[in-house]
């Protein structure tokens, strides 16, 4: 009974309510929502993203986000199940852990502890409370019914999540450590989604971020892709589940009217240090909002090895020319 009350209190399986639209609209005026992949790890990924948003840092993406989510999952389960079974002496949110954990049909406590340590297993109330204790800060969960805070500590230090459609995303409360203008924030969201959808090999979502006449410049000197060419190349890779992962270390965005340009320092899973630059145009909400008109991806080469890289590049060009390429 207590478990049902606790779960219901944050509307984890909420039905539509007449007040929900007004509550969601009011919340949207104050929050930035950062979407994370819907891969079963969304609670832990959302908390990892919320950590970065709370201090104004770049949100990790791809493998970096997955790695932090895995660390958080492990930390939560170390607290909840230190010996492989739920800790009967532990209380969270004023309730014993045995009343908080959500068992599947036919599952005992040991089975729960083993299952929740695996990637892709959904987290819920017990795991939120555990991470609030581990991180030493409250976690606020927003739903269409309102907001519920979990854990102790100053509300100003809370990590904020949104729960909607059985999925968690991260939320940054406005007035945080790194306030951006609305347009800069919107551009940042587009770029965040660009990297997230590429890592997820989601072709439809990825190419929806580009204008039809956009150009993508790859790292090879001959890679100047029009969208139909780029879609043919990348779409085949994505269809095979072969995306690419880049985590953002630093980003600078400048907006002038309905045009924005940016540069971002990246860490590629394969290429290592890289740099992305480009231009976005705001076509208005009805036409898709901010979309990329150009994106250029280049390898960042240290000065002390630039000569050797240049030599290899020239040799490669000579080989290509001799082969008639």
What confidence tens digit (pLDDT) does each residue in 52-77 have? 888 777 788 888 899 999 999 999 99
> Contact at 8 Å (CB) between 103 and 112?
yes
The pLDDT value recorded for residue 170 is: 93
- Among 144-158, 205-219, 279-293, the minimum mean pLDDT is found in 144-158
DSSP sequence for 134-150: HHTS-EEEEETTEEEEE
Name the pTM for this structure: 0.53
Q: Which of 150, 173, 196 is the last residue of a domain?
A: 173
| Residue 316, in any domain of the structure | no
What pLDDT, on the 0 to 100 scale, is given for residue 153?
Answer: 59
Domain-embedded: residue 6: yes
Assess whether 160 and 219 both reside in one domain.
no
Question: Are residue 102 and residue 169 in the same domain, yes or no?
Answer: yes
What is d(CA 319, CA 208) in angstroms, rounded to the nearest whole number?
A: 37
The 10s digit of each residue's pLDDT in 23-37 is: 343 344 345 688 899
Distance between CA 64 and CA 51 in Å, rounded?
A: 13
pLDDT of residue 286: 75
User: Is residue 318 scored above 60 in pLDDT?
Assistant: no
pLDDT of residue 233: 94
The tokens of 191 are what?
């770029």
Q: Are residues 209 and 236 in the same domain?
A: yes
Q: What DSSP character marks residue 171?
A: E
- 267 and 162 part of one domain: no
For residues 216 and 157, what is the distance between their CA atoms, to the nearest angstrom?
Answer: 40
Higher pLDDT among residues 42 and 287, named by residue? 42
Rounded to whole angstroms, the Cα distance separating 64 from 70 reads 10
Residue 266, domain extent:
182-304
Q: Are residues 156 and 210 in the same domain?
A: no
Tell me: pLDDT of 213 over 90: yes
Instruction: Indicate the residue among 124, 147, 173 that finishes a domain.
Output: 173
Residue 240: per-residue pLDDT: 94
Return d(Cα 175, Cα 156) in angstroms, integer.
10
Whether residue 70 sits in one domain with residue 195:
no
Q: Based on the fold, state whether residues 144 and 190 are members of the same structural domain.
A: no
Q: So what's the pLDDT on residue 301?
A: 86
Q: Model confidence at 319, in pLDDT bands (50, 70, 90)?
A: very low
Do residues 7 and 138 both lie within one domain?
yes
For 215-229, the pLDDT digits (tens) are: 999 999 889 999 999
pLDDT band at residue 325 under the 50/70/90 scheme: very low
Q: How many domains does the chain have?
A: 2
Q: What is the pLDDT of residue 148?
A: 87
CA-nearest of 245, 254, 249 to 264 is 249
Least confident piece of the model among 60-64, 200-204, 254-258, 313-317: 313-317
Q: Domain of 256: which CATH number? A: 3.10.450.50
Choose the final residue of a domain: 154, 173, 192.
173
CATH number at residue 75: 3.90.70.80
Arithmetic mean of pLDDT, 105-128: 96
pLDDT of residue 23: 39
């Amino acid at each position: 009974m207590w478990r049902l009350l606790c779960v219901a209190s944050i509307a984890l399986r909420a039905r539509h309510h007449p007040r929900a639209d007004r509550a969601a609209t009011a919340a949207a005026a104050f929050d930035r929502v950062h979407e994370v992949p819907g891969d079963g790890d969304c609670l832990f990924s959302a908390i990892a993203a919320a950590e970065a948003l709370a201090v104004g840092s770049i949100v990790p993406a791809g493998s970096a986000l997955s790695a932090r989510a895995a660390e958080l999952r492990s930390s939560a389960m170390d607290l909840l199940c230190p010996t492989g079974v739920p800790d009967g002496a532990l209380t969270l949110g004023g309730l014993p852990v045995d009343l908080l954990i959500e068992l599947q049909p036919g599952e005992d406590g040991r089975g729960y502890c083993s299952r929740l340590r695996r990637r892709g297993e959904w987290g819920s109330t017990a795991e939120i409370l555990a991470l609030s204790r581990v991180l030493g800060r409250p976690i606020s969960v927003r739903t269409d019914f309102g907001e519920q805070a979990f854990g102790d500590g100053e509300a100003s230090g809370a990590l904020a999540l949104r729960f909607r459609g059985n999925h968690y995303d991260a939320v940054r409360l406005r007035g945080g450590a790194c306030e951006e203008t609305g347009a800069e924030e919107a551009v940042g969201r587009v770029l965040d989604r660009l990297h997230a959808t590429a890592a997820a090999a989601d072709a439809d979502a990825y190419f929806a971020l580009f204008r039809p006449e956009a150009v993508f410049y790859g790292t090879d000197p001959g890679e100047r892709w029009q969208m139909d060419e780029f879609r043919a190349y990348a779409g085949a890779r994505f269809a095979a589940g072969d995306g690419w992962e880049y985590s953002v270390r630093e980003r600078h965005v400048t907006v002038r009217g309905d045009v924005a340009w940016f540069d971002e320092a990246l860490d590629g899973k394969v290429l290592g240090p890289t740099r992305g630059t480009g231009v976005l145009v705001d076509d208005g909400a009805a036409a898709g909002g901010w979309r990329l008109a150009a994106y250029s991806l280049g390898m960042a080469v240290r000065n002390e090895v630039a000569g050797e890289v240049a030599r290899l590049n020239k040799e490669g060009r000579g080989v290509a020319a001799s082969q008639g390429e």
